[in-house]
Chain A
Amino acid sequence: AQRVTQPEKLLSVFKGAPVELKCNYSYSGSPELFWYVQYSRQRLQLLLRHISRESIKGFTADLNKGETSFHLKKPFAQEEDSAMYYCAGETSGSRLTFGEGTQLTVNP
């Protein structure tokens, strides 16, 4: 069965520090992988997807098939990055399988 795992429920860093949110997946075939973010009192929204290989708000994520990982990284965290981050994989049927989520807090 498809599975997405985020091992850290909580992650706290200081402003300006690098941040890495971990995501591992277990999928048959090649999944499409995404990071969604939910800022306080806002809706879930797409942050980035692996297929586009883009950087959004300074975040990048690289798909590592050998390690079955899709970690989200940012070299210098900002206070406004504080939010709940969800890694998600998509099957051919377009349903999303979410990880547990990581609550990132960036301290001043």
Chain B
Amino acid sequence: EPEVTQTPSHQVTQMGQEVILRCVPISNHLYFYWYRQILGQKVEFLVSFYNNEISEKSEIFDDQFSVERPDGSNFTLKIRSTKLEDSAMYFCATQPGGTNTEAFFGQGTRLTVV
């Protein structure tokens, strides 16, 4: 069964460093998302991406964050200058279509900023 794959599974970085989280979507999916979950808190929406552009972003997704799909396969989330409060589990999700189609989640990347 096709799966969304995220790498790395765990990333430790120093405050102020840039990190790139990678996601390989399921091949025929068109809608891509990043969510995050700070320890003990809700899963929160960050950004959605369709047709090679951001379709929606939350207030969390400020100028420190960016997404792209540089080679038509990987979908990446970049955090330019990490802060301690960026420590969280980051989930990539993809959907074949839009509203009310199932979102398939990756296994997550645990980001720890020290």
Whether A98 contacts B98 in the complex (CB less than 8 A), given A43-B108, A45-B105, A93-B55, comes out as: no
Answer whether residue B18 sits at the interface, using C-beta atoms and an 8 A cutoff.
Answer: no
> Which residue on A lies nearest to B105, using beta carbons?
A44
Is A100's CB under 8 angstroms from B99's CB?
Answer: no
Is B105's CB under 8 angstroms from A43's CB?
Answer: yes
Answer whether residue B91 sits at the interface, using C-beta atoms and an 8 A cutoff.
Answer: yes
Answer whether residue A95 sits at the interface, using C-beta atoms and an 8 A cutoff.
Answer: yes
Which residues in A have their C-beta under 8 angstroms from that of B48?
93-95
State the CA gap A101–B104 with chains docked (Å). Answer: 18
Is A46's CB under 8 angstroms from B91's CB?
Answer: no
Interface size, chain A (Cβ < 8 Å): 21
State the CA gap A107–B93 with chains docked (Å). Answer: 32
Which residues in A have their C-beta under 8 angstroms from that of B42?
98-101
Q: Which of A32, A92, A95, A99 has the most CB of B within 10 A?
A: A95
Answer whether residue A90 sits at the interface, using C-beta atoms and an 8 A cutoff.
Answer: yes
Is B103's CB under 8 angstroms from A32's CB?
Answer: no
Answer whether residue B76 sits at the interface, using C-beta atoms and an 8 A cutoff.
Answer: no
Whether A96 contacts B103 in the complex (CB less than 8 A), given A43-B108, A86-B43, A101-B42, comes out as: yes
Residues of A in contact with B (beta carbons under 8 Å apart): 32, 36, 42-46, 49, 51, 86, 90, 92-101
A-B contact pairs, 29 of them (CB 8 A): A32-B99, A32-B100, A43-B3, A43-B4, A43-B105, A43-B106, A43-B107, A44-B43, A44-B93, A45-B104, A45-B105, A46-B102, A49-B100, A86-B43, A90-B99, A90-B100, A93-B56, A94-B48, A94-B55, A94-B98, A95-B33, A95-B45, A96-B33, A96-B45, A98-B35, A98-B43, A98-B44, A100-B41, A101-B43
